[in-house]
Structure 1
Amino acid sequence: MTVQSVLPLDPSAYTPHALHAAERMWPETNCYVDLWIEVLSALGIAPEAMLGFTLTQDFEGDQFTFFKVPLEDLEALYGIKVTELAIFDSVEAHIREQIARGRLCLVEMDSFYMPDTRGVGYRQEHGKTTVGINSLDLENRRMDYFHNGGFFSLDGADFDGLFQHNAPDGWPPFLPYTEFAKFPAERVEDNHLRGTAERLLRFHFARRPSENPFAGFANVFPQQVEAVAERDFSYFHKYAFNTLRQFGANFELLASHLLWLGGDKRFGDEIAQALRLSELAKTVQFQLARAVTRKKFEPLKTAIDPAIDAWDRLMAGLSSKIE
């Protein structure tokens, strides 16, 4: 049986997009945004255009917003229509049908069985993550897929684990949340991307948090750190991912969006403030690890204060240029 693919890609020859370059402060952000960066790159269109939504990130009390590109933005910018796929047969049957139609399925799966997470989650810890399945070979139990900052393949026992082929009798059916993406017949033009991105930047700026999110975070950060220190050290990684890494990666992507849209000449000060936020997240993450290990929290009491200033300066600067 011929194995079909959505896009003609070879995992062994794949080069990730520059937004995932190793020299960036946050080479990976979160699974959903990272996936779309690579899918758009593989389609030959600029993923930087979609990143205006990063302006809306807020502090949610126990975490920063897990930032995801709105599906409406994908359609407005690129003509890509994404919707939920109903699962009423085997997951593999649905995916194979959509691949045959040239559609990419985005499926929530268990990173425990994904070799690309080796050293982090692979065969160590179960975790939910989203992958984009480009090809599926049922006979040889092989899958090529987008995940995080790259394009990979897996097979054999990992394939069986992902699709729960060895689940015991009576085990609940495998019904992962699944979306599928319909790509347009023709690639959009650059002038359309830039015009739409300008409009969406203004739209998302109007949706920014009404209060400085870092002021709220600073108020609870010392207490949260002390609580983290009472847990197993593995919890530190979960806390840091959902707070410091989320806002650090978010604002580095915002800087990349502003650089793509207007460059240093137009947005130089705002790019600098966004990168200041991103760098601060990296610095505080190291400080947090030391504090949790040593049980010394005093240095962290004012650690978030510079972020309050940076966010205010960033928003004030954008207000003067895009409203």
Structure 2
Amino acid sequence: MDIKPIIDLNPSTYARHAIHGEERIWAETNCYVDVLVELIHSLGYDPVAGLAFTLSVDFEEDQWTFFKYPPGDLLELYGLDIQELNPWKNLVEHVANQVHAAKPVLVELDSYFLPDTAGSAYKQEHVKSTVAVNAIDINKKFMGYFHGQGYYELNGDDFDNIFQLNGLVHERMLPPYIELVKTRGQDQSKLFEKSLVTFERHIQLMPELNPFEKFKLQFEQDLKWLLNAELEAFHKYSFASLRQYGACFELSLTYLQWLQQHGKNGLDDAAITACRSISETAKAFQFQLARSIMRKKPLNLEPLENMASQWLILKSTLRNTI
């Protein structure tokens, strides 16, 4: 019997969304958002309309907000109803049951066995990452899935390993976090108006205290040990901070441009410029931090002050639009 995907896709001809285009400041955002962008895109909707949530990110004491599409926004804009799945039996059976019922499954899997990560994690490093399963056949050991910037397939030993079918781990290994996606359908004729509702909601949720000022205070303390740490520590730290908010504010930039193109009244270019500045400065600052760690030399923190100033401009400008 032929494999029946939820969405008929071919990895060799798959056209990724522009958010993952080559001209972007940040090639990737985070595993959850990247997957949702491509899933929403492949379902025929515009993922940019749902990016208002990026405006309300904050510094969360030891990391920046791991920004994600809020379930309420997904339901309101696209009719995508995300529900947690209770893993009471074998993971692969859960995934197959839901996908065969035309419900994509969001699940955390080990990148060590995801062939699309060749050159980074595949066969090199055990790193959990969220994928969205679109097609699966247990007997044929086949899975079609969204991950990162695109759509991919795996089979054979990778299938056995990714679902731990060959006894790789002990029997008390905790199952991954799993969600199913019910596609309820949504009228897209009012997408802009619905997006404006989420826009106003997330502006109201913007932090009261400047998150960059909070981050700078913590960063000054962290820098004391970072400068003496291995480069691996830098990668983990950067992913939780610089890369996280840098990619996030590029999505904010994309969203504000989309609003402007669709006729949002009162949206000043200053907000768009501020988002671009934060994202580009974060990218440059990440490289500066890496060089400081490798050379064990002091780091100029002025870029953090500049980003703090840009965030204030962004907040005041956006608050004036509602």
Fold match by TM threshold 0.5: yes
Number of matched residues? 319
2:243 to 235, 242, 245: 245
Q: Residue in 2 aligned with 1:19?
A: 19
Does 1:222 find its partner at 2:223?
Answer: no
Aligned to 1:255: 253
- Distance in structure 2 (CA, Å) of the matches to 1:58 and 1:170: 38
CA RMSD of aligned residues (A): 1.6
Question: 1:57·1:67 contact (CA, 8 Å) conserved in 2?
Answer: yes
**Does the CA contact (< 8 Å) of 1:29 and 1:246 recur in 2?**
yes
Q: Look up the SS of the partner of 1:266 in the other structure.
A: coil
Structure-2 residue corresponding to 1:188 = 187
In the TM superposition, 1:114-153 aligns within 5 A as 114-153=114-153
Q: How far 1:168 moved relative to its partner?
A: 5.2
Question: 3-state SS of the aligned residue for 1:304?
Answer: helix
- Cα deviation, residue 65, structure 1: 0.7
Distance 2:283 2:168 in 1: 43
Over 3 Å counting, the alpha-carbon distance change for 1:160 and 1:216 in structure 2 is same
Distance in 1 separating the partners of 2:80 and 2:101: 14
List per-residue Cα deviations over 1:241-272 (Å, max 9, x = no partner).
11101111100001111111123983422111
String of CA shifts for 1:128-148, please: whole Å, max 9, x gaps: 111000111212212110011
Distance in structure 2 (CA, Å) of the matches to 1:148 and 1:169: 26
- In 2 relative to 1, CA 168–151 (structure 1 residues): closer, same or farther, beyond 3 Å? closer
CA distance in 2, matches of 1:174, 1:301: 41
Superposed counterparts of 1:85-100, under 5 Å: 85-100=85-100
Query: Once structures 1 and 2 are overlaid, which stretch shifts more, 273-282 or 136-145?
Result: 136-145
Name the structure 2 match of 1:200: 198
Q: Which of 203, 206, 229 matches 1:231?
A: 229
Asked whether the 8 Å contact 1:258–1:267 carries over to 2, the reply is no
TM-score (norm 1): 0.94
Cα distance in 1, alignment partners of residues 223 and 124 from structure 2: 25
1:311-322 to 2 correspondences below 5 Å:
311-321=311-321
- Give the SS at the match of 2:73: helix
Aligned partner of residue 302 in structure 2, secondary structure = coil
The residue aligned with 1:285 is 286
1:187 CA displacement: 4.8
Task: Name the SS of the counterpart of 1:145 in structure 2.
Answer: strand
Partners of 1:300 and 1:244 lie apart in 2 by: 15
1:283 and 1:108 mapped to 2: Cα distance? 30
User: Structure 1 unaligned runs (5+)?
Assistant: none
Separation of aligned partners in 2, 1:126 and 1:231: 21
Contact 2:77 2:186 in 1 (8 A): no
